[in-house]
Amino acid sequence: MTAPTIGSYETLLFEQNDDGIGILRLNRPKALNALSAQLVAEFGALLDEIAGLGLKALVVTGGPRAFAAGADITEMASFTALQAEQLARGGQRMLGKLETFPAPTIAAVNGFALGGGCELAMCCDLILAGANAVFGQPEVKLGVIPGFGGTQRLIRRVGRQRAIELMMTGRNVSSEEAVAIGLALTRTEDDVVEAAVKLAGRIARNGPVAVRLVKRAVHETDRLDLDAGLAAEATLFGLCFATEDQKEGMGAFVEKRKASFVGR
Ligand code: CO8
């Protein structure tokens, strides 16, 4: 691993490997990585800082016991309605930065990914589950609803009916079930961070501009109807043909050689 090129944060660790893949770790192990106001603020600031590094991919992970056990309940227990709304808006802004991060993002989940932790994972492009991963939106057990995007993003990941059932029961979802319902892409008995870095490496071998445009084509059309989404896809498809990567990728195919992408 190369030395980090960014400032240090109390609740987060960041490193970048030689292949240009970043690994961001939530680091409040004593509170099972509960998303305190400080952690949320630092997460947003770190994402801003690393957005310009030109990472090929970003792996987001927690510790062995918890990815993140939700928003910090001790902090918000005595909140007023206004404070809670502000907390939700602030958290949503931070998670929006993760969702639109310029490089592909992969959540590598060990242990609990509950409430805001599950919502954070869902802002990554892909979710890989370790064997001990436990997902869930247990907010109703605390007398509240998901506030960091869960009501919107869970229905998009697992379908409306399953999402409603999960949010209304607040029950836990095992790693096996997470894969079965499409919440996680795969489950591994091995080291899930290593698996995520490996997958990131496979993605990184492709044309970097094209990979980023896949992400933009998916995310920027999320709120559009099919016709508008198709129009946006056609625009981005056209944009690919203004890149050196497209000429290299297709040229290499025609010349029957391996492509060497420059990321432009
Ligand atoms: N917030 C604060 N502290 C937490 C949290 C949390 N979400 N989760 C765990 N901790 C702390 C515990 O208090 C404990 O601290 P201490 O050692 O000082 O007592 C430490 O982490 C270890 O936890 P446990 O002893 O409870 O460990 P267990 O292995 O027995 O249990 C669980 C693990 C099952 C994960 C359990 O800790 C738990 O149920 N945690 C809460 C899970 C939860 O309900 N998450 C949802 C929170 S609400 C939310 O995320 C809404 C997001 C949107 C907010 C919008 C704002 C309005």
- Give me the pLDDT at residue 5, please: 59
219 and 174 together in one domain: no
223 and 197 together in one domain: no
- Is residue 3 in some structural domain? no
137 and 223 together in one domain: no
Q: How far apart are CA 124 and CA 135, in angstroms?
A: 14
- 131 within 8 A of 189, measured Cβ to Cβ: yes
Q: Summarize the confidence of residues 121-126 as an average pLDDT.
A: 98
* Nearest alpha carbon, ligand 1 atom 38: 69
**DSSP states of 44-113:** HHHHHHHGGG--SEEEEE--SSEEE--B-HHHHTT--HHHHHHHHHHHHHHHHHHHT-SS-EEEEE-SEE
- Is residue 263 in some structural domain? no
- Is residue 4 in some structural domain? no
Residues whose CB falls within 8 Å of the CB of residue 197, separated by 6 or more in sequence, listed in order: 17, 21, 23, 59
Buried b vs exposed e over 61-75: b needs ≥16 C-beta within 10 Å? Answer: bbbeebbbbbbbeeb
Q: Summarize the confidence of residues 157-181 as an average pLDDT.
A: 97
- Is residue 262 in some structural domain? no
* Nearest alpha carbon, ligand 1 atom 54: 147
Ligand 1 pocket check for 114: Cβ under 6 Å: yes
Q: In the 8-state DSSP scheme, what is residue 171?
A: -
* Nearest alpha carbon, ligand 1 atom 1: 72
Please give the model's pTM, rounded to 2 decimal places.
0.92
51 and 129 together in one domain: yes
How much distance in Å is there from the Cα of 82 to the middle of ligand 1? 22
- Is residue 190 in some structural domain? yes
**Backbone torsion region of residue 101, taken as left when φ is above 0, otherwise alpha when ψ lies between -120 and 50, otherwise beta:** beta
Residue 124 has pLDDT above 50, yes or no: yes
How much distance in Å is there from the Cα of 168 to the middle of ligand 1? 19
Q: Mark which of 188, 204, 220 sits at the end of a domain.
A: 204
Domain count, the chain: 2
- Is residue 261 in some structural domain? no
**Ligand 1 atom with the shortest distance to the CA of 31:** 21
Ligand 1 pocket check for 84: Cβ under 6 Å: yes
Residue 2 has pLDDT above 70, yes or no: no
pLDDT interval class at 240 (50, 70, 90) = confident
CA distance readout (Å), 223 to 120, 126, 210: 19, 19, 21
Q: What is the pLDDT of residues 59-94, one digit of tens each?
A: 999 999 999 999 999 999 999 999 999 999 999 999
Q: How far apart are CA 210 and CA 29, in angstroms?
A: 37
- Active site (catalytic) residues: 119, 139
Ligand 1 pocket check for 72: Cβ under 6 Å: yes
Q: Best substitution site from 11, 43, 73 to test ligand 1's pocket, by max atoms within 8 Å of Cβ?
A: 73
137 and 48 together in one domain: yes
pLDDT interval class at 162 (50, 70, 90) = very high
> For the domain that residue 241 is a member of, what is the CATH number?
1.10.12.10
- Is residue 150 in some structural domain? yes
112 and 229 together in one domain: no
Q: In the 8-state DSSP scheme, what is residue 190?
A: S
250 and 146 together in one domain: no
33 and 164 together in one domain: yes
Q: Which residue has the higher pLDDT, 36 or 7?
A: 36
143 and 226 together in one domain: no
Residue 237 has pLDDT above 90, yes or no: no
> For the domain that residue 42 is a member of, what is the CATH number?
3.90.226.10
Provide φ and ψ at 238, rounded to 5°: -60, -40
67 and 120 together in one domain: yes
Report the share of the chain in percent with pLDDT over 70.
98
- 36 within 8 A of 69, measured Cβ to Cβ: no
Ligand 1 pocket check for 34: Cβ under 6 Å: yes
239 and 199 together in one domain: no
250 and 159 together in one domain: no
Q: How far apart are CA 254 and CA 114, in angstroms?
A: 48
- Give me the pLDDT at residue 253, please: 85
Q: How far apart are CA 244 and CA 264, in angstroms?
A: 6
How much distance in Å is there from the Cα of 48 to the middle of ligand 1? 27
Q: What is the pLDDT of residues 244-256, one digit of tens each?
A: 998 998 899 889 9
pLDDT interval class at 3 (50, 70, 90) = very low
Look-up of token digits 């404070």 = 83
Mean pLDDT of the chain: 93
Q: Mark which of 204, 224, 242 sits at the end of a domain.
A: 204
- Which residues form the domain of 81? 12-204
- Is residue 156 in some structural domain? yes
